[in-house]
Amino acid sequence: MSEPGERPATIEDVAKLAGVSIATVSRALRSPEKVAESTRKKVTAAIARTGYTANAMAQNLRMQRSQMVLVLASSIADPNFAGILTGLEKAANDRGYGVLIGNTEGTTGLEQNYLRFLSTGMADGLVLLTGHIPVAGQPQTPLVNLPPIVATERPVANADLSYVGVDDVAASKMATEYLISLGHRRITFISGGPADIRSDLRHSGYRQGLKESPEALRDWRVEGDGSSESGRAAVERLFIKDDLPTAFFCFNDNTAIGVISALQLRGYRVPEDFSVLGFDDIPFANNFTPGLTTIRQPRHHIGEKAMNILLDRLANRTLERQTHLLHGDLIVRESCAGVSRSSK
């Protein structure tokens, strides 16, 4: 790196050290997606060694590019967030971008604070995990002059945005068909919150699974909010009514864990007395007793795909809206079994 008093490093220094042409260095800075990964790594290493980083940042400012992307999440404590973020960061780093994380905690004030990164040019684009378009102020008005945006993990209703996520409908249909294949005919779906579009999509897949059964099966939805406490509460409501299923298909793994806990507190065994199936395959799902049968989201792949779509938009703003629904995998563990004779 340059020592104090030495002349500032130049693009020629970077090119010489990297063993590439000046034009290649310039292209790596302006359009990294057009440069081979091995070459980008050489240029990046040369920039770091020569101290040309500041010059490169100035060039980005002249181009009105920050080479940063803002990721807005309702909660970084969401078990799905870390896996998606890993994919987002990998794709961004591969293409010469950095990531800023905004944890909104579901509050408008924090959301508006993070939007300053966009309005001041500190971020070039936005990845949304919140399930809604950010608001610009009070009263809650939609953000205008939107930068390139890609939604992931949660679809945004009534918005013309690119979206990458798991195929909630197909995965939920598969989960329901699996329970039916085990002999279950009374299957309860415990939903997520009323404002969460994923809950309706997963309920739709559950209904499709029921309809394809040769027998007429009951569409049995019990409202929850995606928390483990709502799973426990759903079980208590069913016991009060004395109207019990033989299997529970839950909106997510947190709900499923709450269901299992409530059943075990009442002295029931899972899966001998009741089967329970979740969605997401959070890290804790395999460490719970019994191990949770669930749908695994391809979180890392979702993040990579979403970031690449966003960066493609930044390189070519004429790209049209894209929707990519990725396959969810059924992970069979110990929480589901054939329906017991006493439950038939």
| 15-43 mean pLDDT | 84
The predicted model gives 238-265 an average pLDDT of: 96
Say whether pLDDT at 2 is over 90: no
- The confidence score (pLDDT) of residue 139 equals 45
Per-residue model confidence (pLDDT) at position 62: 45
184-217 per-position pLDDT tens digit: 999 999 999 888 999 999 999 999 999 999 999 9
CATH number of 11-62: 1.10.260
Tokens of 226: 């995606």
For 136-150, the pLDDT digits (tens) are 554 455 555 678 899
pLDDT beyond 90 at 116: no
**193 half-sphere exposure, CB direction, 13 A CA radius:** 9
Query: With 60 as the cut, is the pLDDT of residue 112 above it?
Result: yes
pLDDT at 117: 79
Tell me the residue length of the chain. Answer: 344
Give the SS3 label for residue 190. Answer: strand
Residue 143 has a pLDDT of: 52
Better-predicted residue by pLDDT, 191 or 112: 191
Between these two residues, 105 and 317, which has the higher pLDDT value?
Answer: 105
Residue 193 or residue 290, greater confidence = 290
pLDDT tier at 342, thresholds 50, 70, 90: low
Prediction pTM value = 0.79
Top-confidence residue, 275 or 95: 275
**Tokens at residue 244, please?**
């019990």
The SS3 call for residue 331 is strand
Same fold across 11-62 and 168-297+330-343: no
Average pLDDT over the chain reads: 88
Say if CB 168 and CB 295 are below 8 A apart: no
The confidence score (pLDDT) of residue 247 equals: 98
Closest to 173 in 3D by CA, of 204, 200, 213: 204
pLDDT of residue 4: 46
Look at residue 206 in the predicted model and tell me its pLDDT.
98
What local confidence, expressed as pLDDT, does residue 32 receive? Answer: 74
More confidently predicted of 313 and 142: 313
Q: How many Å apart are CA 304 and CA 327, to the nearest integer?
A: 15
Other C-beta atoms closer than 10 Å to the C-beta of 306 total 28
244 vs 37 pLDDT, higher one: 244
pLDDT at 256 over 70: yes
Q: What three-state secondary structure class fits 64?
A: coil
* Fold held by 168-297+330-343: Rossmann fold (3.40.50)
User: Does the structure show a pLDDT above 50 at 42?
Assistant: yes
pLDDT reading at 46 higher than 90: no
Q: Domain spans of the chain?
A: 11-62, 68-166+299-326, 168-297+330-343
CATH of region 68-166+299-326, choose from 3.40.720.10, 3.20.20.370, 3.40.50.2300, 3.30.379.10: 3.40.50.2300
